[in-house]
Amino acid sequence: MENVNVKNVKVKENLKEVKFCAADPGNWNTKWINNRGVKGVCSSRISTDYEAYDEGFQRIEYNDQTIYFEIGEIQKELNKAEKGYIVPQILYALCKANPKEQIVETNLTLLLPIIQMQTKTKLINKFKNQEFTFKYNGEDRIISIKDVLILPEGYSTYFSLSSEDKKGSIVIVDIGSRTVNLAVLINGKIEKLNTITLGSYNFFQKIKNIENAKGQNFVEEDIKRLIDEGFIKVYQKQYIEFLNNILDSIKPLINLSTYKVIFTGGTSLMLQEYINQLKLPKFKIHEDALNSNVIGAMEASKITWGASA
């Protein structure tokens, strides 16, 4: 696309309809959805290392820095409001959600682990009523964010459920890469929300340690690909042990056997074969486990801002 210098354009005069987007800046994957229902997933890995052929990479140029996406490492800071690159990470997701528009005015819904909800003001202040001028893959962009809504991960999935699944006593178990978010609801009323800091990253760490003890020099970010491509063999018992670790950390908080359990999050997909063998009276894996939080966030955004905001 032709580069257009939009730096001096008055945003107000070029406004299109106010839209809204939801983004789930996961530790491993960033999920986004716009209010036309178009959704996507990208890796949360970033790199700020020099690249001689920068056009070869997905990138944001912001605040005199080029940030490359979907390469490098995940941001290790667990507190999402404190992640050093949370602003470019969200700008990147918003560009993905609005790929053709140089000027975007939008409301924004973001997700935070339940345990971090007290930091939500910090996140709101970074985005609410802020205008960002930057380059996305070499092209000028202005994103003007109006209102910001922050929802808890896990609970957000509730809004994605069918009316049948919403009924009765349910627990949503959102297994991500560094957190498990738990939401207990009784007929739609929140009974308990909690976060456990455990996820696929811890599993990959264990596998990495085993492989590196044999003389390799892997990092956690390598492990999924190496398993998928058959370079590393993971035994069933290792997946079962990891699932049991998760269930054991849930035990002191919730007795899963007394609820309808909805497993979600990308790691539920990694463990689906073993989750499906659990002896729980009522459970299912969400039909779109990777995206359920962001889908629910969009449903909640529609309730907050109206279907055609």
CB 182 within 8 A of CB 254: yes
If binding is defined by CB under 6 A, does position 290 make contact with ligand ATP? yes
Q: Which stretch binds ligand ATP (CB under 6 A): 47-55, 128-136, 171-179, 188-196?
A: 171-179
If binding is defined by CB under 5 A, does position 26 make contact with Mg ion? yes
Residues from 237 through 266 that contact Mg ion (CB under 5 A)? none
260 binds, among ligand ATP, Mg ion, none (CB under 5 to 8 A by kind): none
98 binds, among ligand ATP, Mg ion, none (CB under 5 to 8 A by kind): none
CB 9 within 8 A of CB 37: no
Rank residues 181 and 301 by Cβ distance to ligand ATP and give the closer one.
181
Q: How far is the CB of 226 from Mg ion (least distance, A)?
A: 22
Q: How many residues bind Mg ion (CB under 5 A)?
A: 2
Which listed residue (170, 232, 269, 300) binds ligand ATP by CB under 6 A?
269
The distance from CA 186 to its chain's CA centroid, rounded to whole angstroms, is 25
If binding is defined by CB under 5 A, does position 296 make contact with Mg ion? no
Spell out the residues 6+ positions from residue 216 whose beta carbon is closer than 8 angstroms to its own.
none
Q: How far is the CB of 63 from ligand ATP (least distance, A)?
A: 24
Give the DSSP letter string of 209-259. Answer: HHHHHTT----HHHHHHHHHTTSS---HHHHHHHHHHHHHHHTTT--GGGS
If binding is defined by CB under 6 A, does position 176 make contact with ligand ATP? yes
Rank residues 11 and 117 by Cβ distance to ligand ATP and give the closer one.
117
How many Cβ atoms sit within 10 Å of the Cβ of residue 80?
24
Give the CB-side neighbour count of residue 93, counting CA atoms within 13 A.
Answer: 31
Residues from 144 through 203 that contact Mg ion (CB under 5 A)? 176
Q: How far is the CB of 224 from ligand ATP (least distance, A)?
A: 5
How many Cβ atoms sit within 10 Å of the Cβ of residue 296?
28
The C-alpha atoms of residue 20 and residue 138 are separated, in whole angstroms, by 24
CB 159 within 8 A of CB 297: yes
177 binds, among Mg ion, ligand ATP, none (CB under 5 to 8 A by kind): ligand ATP
If binding is defined by CB under 6 A, does position 152 make contact with ligand ATP? no
Q: Which two tokens stand for residue 278?
A: 């659990």
Sheet holding 58-62, edge to edge: 39-43, 29-34, 19-25, 103-112, 139-152, 130-136, 58-62, 65-69, 46-47
The residues that touch ligand ATP, with contacts defined as CB under 6 A, are 26-29, 44, 153, 176-179, 199-200, 224, 265-267, 269-270, 290
The residues that touch Mg ion, with contacts defined as CB under 5 A, are 26, 176
